[in-house]
Amino acid sequence: MSEKRKTTQYLNGMRSAVPVILGFVPVGIAYAIMARQAGFSVLQTCGMSLTVFAGASQMMAVGMYVQGASVIAMILATFILNLRHLIMSTCVVNQMRGDSTIIKLLAAFGVTDESFAIFTTEKKEKCSAWFFLGLITVTYTSWNVGTLIGAVASDFLPPIITASLGIALYAMFIGLLMPSLTHNWKLGVLVVLTAVCNSLLTQLMAASWALIVSTLLCAFIGVFFVELEEDPGNG
């Protein structure tokens, strides 16, 4: 691929990611405020975003830290939550067979639900390594800019605003879940079952381990109980 072609693909990827900024920056701010309220320094808060780059996992880790969870519990819970990234990054990298290992590693690190969705729904001729690198440049930058804003602004925002942003994690999960629930009632039953299971296990063990056990148990049940509906357009 010529240098001009690479540049064009890279810029196309950046343009495709612009709408994601509207979601990443506010949630990045919310995560940073949560982390600062939990006792993280500005450096620690921003460092996690720079090295982890997984919003749901970062918020969950902060929540578990506040509850006094062990490092092992936080690592295990994060691993479980991010298992889907193994599949997504494999799908992305499989379309970069002729590219270097460094590019593939960068792509795998930058995979998020949003970047994966954009990349896999684009026309085949656009699905190049350079398109994806442009895509994750915008997503990674916007997430870390949001984190920096939240980490710095948390000292100046009124308490009522910082307190209200504490529900950002729950709002994000509900927002991700609701579209699926409208098409699959069994998934809703599984969500309720997981919540009940977690509540019961919390009485028997530490909250952090209860979360891990209930997630694994109900995910196993979901394999046999929840059926994924086929897209009518692909029928």
Query: Does the predicted model carry a pTM greater than 0.75?
Result: no
Query: What token pair was written down for 3?
Result: 């240098």
Q: Tell me: pLDDT of 224 over 80.
A: no
CA angle 128-53-104, nearest 5°?
A: 30
pLDDT in the model for residue 234? 42
- In percent, the amount of the chain with pLDDT more than 70 equals 86
Higher pLDDT: 50 or 74? It is 50
Question: For the stretch 167-199, what's the b/e string if a residue is b when 16 or more beta carbons lie within 10 angstroms of its beta carbon?
Answer: ebbeebeeeeeeeeeeeeeebeebbebbeebbe
Written in H, E and C, the secondary structure of 105-132 is HHHHHHCCHHHHHHHHHCCHHHCCHHHH
Query: What token pair was written down for 87?
Result: 């599949």
**Given the structure tokens 């690190």, which residue do they identify?**
109
pLDDT in the model for residue 146? 93
Q: pLDDT category, 53, cuts 50, 70, 90?
A: very high
The average confidence (pLDDT) of the chain is 82
